[in-house]
Structure 1
Amino acid sequence: MASEDVKPSESAVSTIVNLAEEAKLARAREGVVKAPSYALLSICKSLVAGGVAGGVSRTAVAPLERLKILLQVQNHQNVKYNGTVQGLKYIWRTEGLRGLFKGNGTNCARIIPNSAVKFFSYEQASKAILLIYQQQTGNEDAQLTPLLRLGAGACAGIIAMSATYPMDMVRGRLTVQTEKSPYQYRGMFHALSTVLREEGPRALYKGWLPSVIGVIPYVGLNFAVYESLKDWLIKSRPFGLVEDAELSMVTRLACGAAAGTVGQTVAYPLDVIRRRMQMVGWNNAASVITGDGRSKAPLQYSGMIDAFRQTVRHEGFRALYKGLVPNSVKVVPSIAIAFVTYEQVKEILGVEIRISD
Structure 2
Amino acid sequence: MALKTENKNLEFVVKNLLAGGVAGMVSKTTVAPLDRVKILLQAHNKYHARHGVVQGLKRIITSEGPLALYKGNGAQMVRIFPYAAAQFTSFEIYKRYLDGIFGKTSHVDKFIAGACAGLTSVSLTYPLDTIRARLAFQISGEHIYTGIAHAATTIFKEEGGTRALYRGFIPTLMGMVPYAGLSFYSFEYLKFGCMKYLPNLTCNKYSKNTGGLVLAVPAKLICGGLAGAIAQSVSYPLDVTRRRMQLALMNPDTSHFAKGMVSTLVHIYKEHGVVNGLYRGMSINYMRAIPMVAVSFSTYETCKQLLGLDTGLTVK
Please state which band the TM-score falls in when normalised by the shorter chain.
Answer: 0.7 to 0.9
The percent of aligned pairs where both chains have the same amino acid is: 39
Hey, what does 1:58 align to over in structure 2?
28
**Cα 1:56–1:268 shift into 2, 3 Å:** same
In the alignment, does 2:89 pair up with 1:120? yes
TM-score between the two structures when normalised by the length of structure 1: 0.76
Structure 1 position 80, deviation (Å): 3.7
Query: Could you tell me which amino acid in structure 2 is paired with residue 237 of structure 1?
Result: L
1:163 to 113, 124, 144: 124
Cα distance, 1:116–1:238 mapped onto 2, change above 3 Å:
closer
User: Which of residues 90, 108, 128 in structure 2 aligns to 1:147?
Assistant: 108
Asked whether 1:298 is paired with 2:240, we answer no
Give the superposition deviation at 1:233: 2.6
1:61-210 equivalences in 2 (<5 Å): 61-74=31-44, 79-130=48-99, 132-133=101-102, 142-143=103-104, 145-181=106-142, 183-199=143-159, 200-210=161-171
Displacement of 1:163: 1.1
Does residue 266 of structure 1 match 2:234? Answer: yes
Answer yes or no: is the 8 Å Cα contact 1:146–1:225 preserved in 2: no
After TM superposition, give the deviation of residue 325 of structure 1 in Å.
Answer: 1.6
Whether the 8 Å contact between 2:21 and 2:83 is mirrored in structure 1 is: no
* 1:40 paired to 2:10: yes
Q: Secondary structure at the match of 2:248?
A: coil
Cα distance in 2 for residues equivalent to 1:70 and 1:194:
21
User: Partners of 2:56 and 2:312 in 1: how far apart?
Assistant: 36
- Higher Rg: 1
Moved more, 225-234 or 38-47: 38-47
Distance 1:317 1:339, change over 3 A: closer
Cα deviation code 1:29-79 (max 9, x no counterpart): xx93x664454345333322332232122112111000001100015x775
Is 1:314 the counterpart of 2:284? The answer is no
Change in CA separation of 1:340 and 1:198 when aligned onto 2, cut-off 3 Å: same
Preserved contact between residue 276 and residue 299 of structure 1 (Cα < 8 Å)? no
Q: CA deviation at 1:110?
A: 1.2
* Number of residue pairs aligned between Structure 1 and Structure 2: 303
Give the secondary structure class of the aligned counterpart of 2:250.
coil
Q: Structure 2 CA distance, aligned partners of 1:253 and 1:337?
A: 6
Q: CA RMSD in A?
A: 2.7
Q: 1:82/1:90 Cα in 2 relative to 1: closer, same or farther (>3 Å)?
A: same
Name the CA shift for 1:38/1:242 in 2 (closer, same or farther; >3 Å). closer
Contact 1:61 1:330 (8 Å CA) reproduced: yes
The alignment's TM-score, normalised by the length of structure 2, stands at 0.85
Name 2:208's counterpart in structure 1.
Answer: none
